[in-house]
C-alpha cells in the first residue's frame, strides 16, 4: 500500500479547502461581518498548516494509486474536510457545540441538508454561504475537483473517482481521467450559473439566488429561511423544481447531448424510469393533497416540488408535508430510498441499482420456473456479468444493515417516536434531509443527543460514499502490506 500517497493526497485536498474558504470570507467582508471574517481566517490558517504539513511529511516516492488507496483517500479526505469545515461555526459561536457543528458540516458536504439550526434566519451571510457552498463542493465531489485542476502522475486516478462518485458503475467519458473530471465540472458549473440567472430573473435577491443555486446543484437542501422555499413565488419554486430534476440526471448524458448523441440519451432506461417515478408519484400525491389546497394548480406545484426534492435528495420544501395525508407521506417515504440516477449529484440507492435488482429478481423467478434455462440480465444494452450483479445485491444488503443499525441506535432516544427515528435513519443514510414526525421539513435534528448526532453524521458519510470506502478504510487488513 502506498501510505505516503494517501496522506499526500489528503494534504492536497485540505489545502484546496483552505483556498475555497476564501469565498465565504469574501462574502463576510462584503456584509461587514468581522466575527465571520476572523472565524474563516483562523480556519484557513489551520487548514493550510495541516495540508502543508501532510504534504511535506508524507511526500511520496511513487504516486501510483490502486483501488485500495483510492477508497482510503476518499474516506480520510471527507472526514477531515468536515472536521476542519466545522471550525468557522465553532469559532464564530454561531454553532458553538462541536457535535452540532460537525453534524451540520458533514450534512453540508454529503449534500444531506439535515440541520440542527432552528433559527436559520439569525445566522450571518458568511456562514449561510458556507453551508450552501459545502453542498456544491460535495455534490460532484471534492476529489473530482482536485483531479480537474491538478495534473495527476497516476494513470489510476479513476480509482479515486469511482470511490467518490455515486452509482454502481463509474467510468471515463473521455480517455484521460483529468479531462473527464473537467468536463463534469464544466457541466456542473454551467447548470449552476444558468439556475442562478433564472432565479435572479424572478426577482430573487442575488445572495438568495446564489445559495439556492449552490444548494440545488449539490441536491443539498440547506435553506436560508425558516420555511425553506415556501415564502418564494410560484415561479421561483418551479425553477428550483426543474433544476432539481436536472441535477438528478446522470451527467454523462449531458455530455452525450453536447456530442449530439440524442438516440443514446433518449433511449436511456434509467432516465425514463426516473421520469416515470416522478410522474407517477406526482399524480398520486396531487390526488391525495387536493382536498387540502382545493386548487389543482397549487396541488400540482407542491406535489411536483416535493417529489423532485425527495427523489433528487435535495431536501427543500414548499409545504409542511408532515400535515399531508398518509398516502402522500407514504409515497415520499418510498422515494427517500430510491434517489436519483447514477452519476448525478443525488443520493439514495440510485435508480440504476433498483432496475438491476428488479431484473435480478425476475431472472431468479424465471430460473425457478425453468431450472435449465440460461437467462442473462441486461442493462442499457449490455449484459451484466455475475460480479456486477453480486456487487449490486451485496451493496443492497449492506445498505439495509446500515439503516437498521442507525435506527436501532436512535431507538434509545426517549424523546423521539418510531416514525421520527425511522425516517431520520432513512433520510440521513440516503442523504435526503427532512424526514417525518419530529424531524420533518419544519423541524430539525437538534433534539437528538450528541451520540445520536455523531452516529447520524457517520450515517450521512456512509451514504454519500456508498459504504465501501469507509468500511475498507477502517478494516485492519486493508493496511497490511500484502
The secondary structure of 144-211 as a DSSP string is: HHHHHHS--S-TTTHHHHHHHS-SS----SSSSHHHHHHHHHHHHHHHHHHHHHHHHHTT--HHHHHH
CA distances from 189 to 95, 216, 253, 340 (A): 30, 12, 16, 19
Identify whether the C-beta of residue 360 lies closer than 8 Å to the C-beta of residue 267.
Answer: no
Which pLDDT score, from 0 to 100, does residue 95 have? 96
Question: How high is the pLDDT of residue 142?
Answer: 72
pLDDT at position 170 is: 46
Q: Residue 468's pLDDT is what?
A: 86
pLDDT of residue 146: 67
Mean pLDDT computed over 302-315: 96
- Where is mean pLDDT largest: 140-144, 284-288, 441-445? 284-288
pLDDT, tens only, 72-114: 888 999 999 999 999 999 999 999 999 999 999 999 999 999 9
Burial of 126 by CB count in 10 Å (0-12 exposed, 13-18 middle, 19+ buried)? buried
pLDDT value, residue 192: 96
At residue 158 the predicted structure's pLDDT band, cuts being 50, 70 and 90, is low
Provide the pLDDT confidence category of residue 234 given band limits of 50, 70 and 90: very high
Of 217, 214, 208, which Cα lies nearest the Cα of 236? Answer: 208
Q: Which three cell numbers stand for residue 244?
A: 432539481
**What pLDDT score does 155 carry?**
47
Mean pLDDT of the chain: 89
In this predicted structure, the answer to whether residue 286 has a pLDDT above a threshold of 70 is yes
Using one digit for the tens of pLDDT, what is the confidence trace for 173-199? 554 667 777 888 899 999 999 999 999
Instruction: Give first-to-last CA distance, the chain, whole Å.
Output: 8
pLDDT one-digit tens code per residue, 409-441 = 999 998 899 999 999 999 999 999 999 999 999
Tens-place pLDDT, residues 22-80: 999 999 999 999 999 999 999 999 999 999 999 999 888 877 777 788 888 889 999 99
Q: Which cell goes with 261?
A: 448523441
Question: What percentage of residues in the chain have a pLDDT greater than 70?
Answer: 93
Q: Of 166, 157, 170, which Cα lies nearest the Cα of 2?
A: 157
Tens-place pLDDT, residues 330-389: 999 999 999 999 888 898 999 999 999 998 888 888 888 888 777 778 887 788 888 888
- 394-404 residue pLDDT tens: 999 999 999 99
Q: How far apart are CA 158 and CA 179, in angstroms?
A: 11
pLDDT at 299 over 90: yes
The C-alpha cell of 459 is what?
450515517
CB-CB contact of 147 with 177 (8 Å): yes
For the segment 280-304, the average pLDDT, to the nearest whole number, is: 96
3-state secondary structure of 283: helix
Alpha carbon 86 to chain centroid, angstroms: 18
Whats the size of the chain, residue-wise?
482
Amino acid at each position: 500500500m502506498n501510505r505516503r500517497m494517501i496522506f499526500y493526497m489528503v494534504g492536497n485536498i485540505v489545502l484546496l479547502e483552505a483556498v475555497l474558504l476564501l469565498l465565504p470570507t469574501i462574502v463576510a467582508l462584503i456584509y461587514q461581518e468581522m466575527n465571520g471574517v476572523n472565524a474563516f481566517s483562523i480556519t484557513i490558517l489551520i487548514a493550510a498548516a495541516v495540508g502543508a504539513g501532510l504534504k511535506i511529511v508524507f511526500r511520496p516516492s511513487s504516486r501510483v494509486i490502486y483501488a485500495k488507496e483510492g477508497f482510503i483517500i476518499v474516506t480520510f479526505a471527507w472526514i477531515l474536510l468536515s472536521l476542519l469545515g466545522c471550525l468557522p461555526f465553532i469559532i464564530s459561536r454561531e454553532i458553538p457545540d462541536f457535535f452540532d457543528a460537525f453534524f451540520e458540516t458533514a450534512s453540508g458536504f454529503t449534500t444531506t441538508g439535515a440541520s440542527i439550526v432552528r433559527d436559520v434566519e439569525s445566522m450571518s451571510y458568511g456562514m449561510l454561504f458556507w453551508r450552501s457552498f459545502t453542498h456544491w463542493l460535495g455534490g460532484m465531489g471534492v476529489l473530482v475537483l482536485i483531479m480537474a485542476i491538478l495534473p495527476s502522475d497516476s494513470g489510476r486516478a479513476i480509482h479515486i473517482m469511482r470511490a467518490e462518485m455515486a452509482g454502481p458503475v463509474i467510468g471515463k467519458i473521455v480517455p484521460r481521467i483529468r479531462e473527464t473530471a473537467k468536463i463534469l465540472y464544466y457541466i456542473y458549473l454551467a447548470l449552476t450559473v444558468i439556475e442562478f440567472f433564472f432565479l435572479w430573473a424572478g426577482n430573487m435577491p442575488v445572495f438568495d439566488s446564489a445559495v439556492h443555486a449552490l444548494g440545488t446543484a449539490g441536491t443539498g437542501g440547506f435553506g436560508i429561511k425558516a420555511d425553506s422555499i415556501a415564502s418564494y413565488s410560484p415561479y421561483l419554486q418551479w425553477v428550483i423544481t426543474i433544476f432539481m430534476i436536472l441535477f438528478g440526471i446522470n451527467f454523462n448524458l449531458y455530455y452525450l447531448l453536447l456530442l449530439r448523441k440524442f438516440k443514446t440519451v433518449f433511449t436511456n432506461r434509467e432516465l425514463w424510469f426516473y421520469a416515470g417515478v416522478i410522474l407517477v408519484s406526482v399524480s398520486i400525491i396531487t390526488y391525495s393533497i387536493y382536498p387540502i389546497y382545493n386548487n389543482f394548480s397549487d396541488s400540482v406545484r407542491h406535489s411536483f416540488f416535493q417529489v423532485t426534492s425527495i427523489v433528487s435528495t435535495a431536501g427543500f420544501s414548499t409545504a409542511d408535508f408532515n400535515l399531508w395525508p398518509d398516502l402522500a407521506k407514504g409515497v415520499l417515504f418510498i422515494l427517500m430510498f430510491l434517489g436519483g440516477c447514477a452519476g448525478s449529484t443525488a443520493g439514495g440507492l440510485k435508480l440504476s441499482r433498483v432496475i438491476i435488482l428488479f431484473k435480478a429478481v425476475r431472472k431468479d423467478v424465471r430460473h425457478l420456473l425453468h431450472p435449465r434455462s440460461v437467462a442473462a440480465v441486461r442493462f442499457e444494452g449490455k449484459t451484466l456479468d455475475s460480479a456486477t450483479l453480486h456487487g449490486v445485491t451485496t451493496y443492497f444488503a449492506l445498505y439495509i444493515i446500515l439503516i437498521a443499525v442507525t435506527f436501532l441506535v436512535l431507538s434509545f432516544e426517549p424523546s423521539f417516536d418510531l416514525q421520527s427515528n425511522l425516517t431520520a435513519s432513512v433520510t440521513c443514510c440516503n442523504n435526503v434531509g427532512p424526514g417525518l414526525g419530529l424531524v420533518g421539513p419544519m423541524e430539525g435534528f437538534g433534539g437528538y443527543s450528541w451520540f445520536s448526532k455523531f452516529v447520524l453524521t457517520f450515517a450521512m458519510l456512509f451514504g454519500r460514499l456508498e459504504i465501501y470506502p469507509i468500511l475498507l478504510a477502517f478494516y485492519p487488513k486493508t493496511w497490511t502490506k500484502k
